[in-house]
Amino acid sequence: MTTTIGSTLAGLKSKMETREARIGIVGMGYVGLPLALLFSGERFRVTGFDIEAAKVSTLNGGGSYIVRILPAEIREAQKAGFRATADYSEIAQMDAVIICVPTPLNEYHEPDLSYVTGTVKSIAPHIHKGQLIVLESTTYPGTTEEVVVPLLESGNPQGLKVARAEGENGVYVAFSPEREDPGNDTVARHDIPKVVGGCSPFAAELAGAMYSSIFRRVVPVSSPSAAEMTKLLENIYRCVNIALVNELKQLCLRMDIDIHEVIDAAKTKPFGFQAFYPGPGLGGHCIPIDPFYLSWKARQFDFRTRFIELAGEVNVAMPYFVIDQIAAGLNEHAKSIKGSKVLVLGLAYKRDIDDLRESPSLTIIELLREKGAIVAYNDPFFAKVGRGRHYDLNMSNTPLDNIGDFDAVVIVTDHTAYDYKAIVEQSKLVIDTRNATKGIQSEKIVRC
Ligand SMILES: NC(=O)c1ccc[n+]([C@@H]2O[C@H](COP(=O)([O-])OP(=O)(O)OC[C@H]3O[C@@H](n4cnc5c(N)ncnc54)[C@H](O)[C@@H]3O)[C@@H](O)[C@H]2O)c1
């Protein structure tokens, strides 16, 4: 065997540069599918792996199941060789494999790495020497080295190891966090710098070469753990700051001060302040979940992450605060929640997206139902809502034709498609948790 790791690396790097490298992306969800399209846009031949047969057949039929991704974009990618499969044996044909599967919490609020471990066990038998494997799923520091590497090494019949030093043949492994902000079109995806930490300098270099073909800037860090921690720092920073404004909002309401006016004034400071906005509670796959990956890991080091716990406490309480505000608003009309007709506007966890994971709307609807309200929802992105990991609603979208029939309309998600002036005019009572009615003067509005 004459191949040295140096020549293997150079060969792979050159395949990246010439776009001959075949890229496999595991998990065709909100992260993996857009990533596949970015690589396809750069003329890479991409194969998307997913265990959901319906997703595989939709993609192969030139369709899309994510609202902001048009079928035309899938068909364009197909011209560059994009296709989807559920057959892991095709991993063997890939030069690089990027893992973008879910990392939720289990019922005890602990990391559920079952999707990551399931994926790694499935791909391990098919990996080959010189292949690059990158984990992108958000997770606690140590996952790549402590979970992914051992499963890759024990799961392949060739006895392949993760390459650590020059001259050592094996697979290259790295972690690179995803930084997408769905619905935010102010920064193009390729302008978001890509952080990469490799299990060896070679792995980092190779992953950097791959990502620099689609991202303008790659930021190397010294290890996968540093890259894993970087992602968590970013999300914990958001979580803690949102909790801070959520708490201050409640104080401002008591003091009759408009928190939004205060934030707008504070953000004119050209340094040392970044604006975060209060809301009805945290939603999405990242901010309500990721911080707990770190608190869980910290326990292994006899360490309590008090900021994370406090922020969690404040943010988790927000939907309950909204319920109190609805009760107070109805009370002014001599009504109770029990028996009232309540319309929830917006199911998605944030504006203009079709994702309702961990959305505070779901908790608010469940709490209202528990208290005896007759609840309906409107959301242009969801014709129906059935059952998820943490909810079972079984509801259909209610058109906005007769909102005057409802005792209260609760703005939980401030989609831009809504005509807030008309909504206020036609409603009896509006509970606005997002400052969506800013500038509209009406006694019917409860801002909270
Ligand atoms: N959505 C975001 O905005 C965002 C942003 C940054 C980071 N992340 C992180 O990226 C990761 C993926 O998130 P997402 O939003 O894309 O999740 P998602 O649920 O939208 O997509 C995950 C996909 O993986 C598939 N899958 C699950 N197990 C599989 C397996 N064993 N083999 C093949 N496919 C499998 C699922 O069918 C699904 O299509 C998570 O760790 C998340 O925290 C998400």
pLDDT digits (tens, 9 = 90+) for 425-438: 999 999 999 999 99
Whose CA is closest to 382, among 355, 364, 357, 401? 355
- CA-CA distance, 40 to 32, in Å (whole number)? 12
Whose CA is closest to 246, among 325, 164, 181? 325
Quick one: pLDDT at residue 5? 57
Do residues 133 and 172 lie in contact, with contact meaning Cβ atoms separated by under 8 Å? yes
C-alpha neighbours within 13 Å on the C-beta side of residue 420:
23
Tell me how far CA of residue 75 lies from CA of 19, 25, 37, 40, 72, in angstroms: 19, 17, 10, 11, 5
> What type of residue is 144?
T
- Helix, strand and coil in the chain, % to nearest 5: 40, 15, 45
Q: Please indicate, yes or no, whether the overall pTM of this predicted structure exceeds 0.85.
A: yes
The distance of Cα 311 from the centroid of its chain, to the nearest Å, equals: 19
Q: Is 182 in the pocket of ligand 1 (CB under 6 A)?
A: yes
| Tokens (6 digits) for 16 | 């990246």
Give counts: helices (H), strands (E), the chain: 14, 15
Residue matched to tokens 């990991």: 389
Pocket test for ligand 1, best of 33, 38, 49, 50 (most atoms within 8 A of CB): 50
| Tokens (6 digits) for 103 | 């990392």
Residue closest via CA to ligand 1's atom 15 equals 30
Residue closest via CA to ligand 1's atom 43 equals 138
Q: How far is the CA of 209 from the centre of ligand 1 (A)?
A: 24
- Percent of the chain topping pLDDT 90: 87
Q: Is 31 in the pocket of ligand 1 (CB under 6 A)?
A: yes
Residue matched to tokens 């309401």: 253
pLDDT tens for the chain, 448 residues long, are: 444 556 777 888 899 889 999 999 999 999 999 999 999 999 999 999 999 999 999 999 999 999 889 999 999 999 999 999 999 999 999 999 999 999 999 988 899 999 999 999 999 999 999 999 999 999 999 999 999 999 999 999 999 999 997 777 899 999 999 998 877 888 998 999 999 999 999 999 999 999 999 999 999 999 999 999 999 999 999 999 999 999 999 999 999 999 999 999 999 999 999 999 999 999 888 888 999 999 999 999 999 999 999 999 999 999 999 999 999 999 999 999 999 999 999 999 999 999 998 999 999 999 999 999 999 999 999 999 988 877 889 999 999 999 999 999 999 999 999 999 999 999 999 999 999 999 999 999 999 9
Residue closest via CA to ligand 1's atom 26 equals 27
Q: Is 50 in the pocket of ligand 1 (CB under 6 A)?
A: yes
Q: What are phi and psi of 84, to 5 degrees?
A: -115, 155
| Tokens (6 digits) for 89 | 């044996």
DSSP state, residue 65: S
DSSP state, residue 398: P
| Tokens (6 digits) for 182 | 């769905």
Pocket test for ligand 1, best of 112, 285, 290, 351 (most atoms within 8 A of CB): 285
Q: Which pLDDT tens digit goes with each residue over 194-253?
A: 999 999 999 999 999 999 999 999 999 999 999 999 999 999 999 999 999 999 999 999
Q: How far is the CA of 32 from the centre of ligand 1 (A)?
A: 7
286 a catalytic residue: yes
Give the SS3 label for residue 190.
helix
| Tokens (6 digits) for 98 | 């990027």
Which atom of ligand 1 is closest in space to residue 286's alpha carbon? 43
Q: Is 59 in the pocket of ligand 1 (CB under 6 A)?
A: no
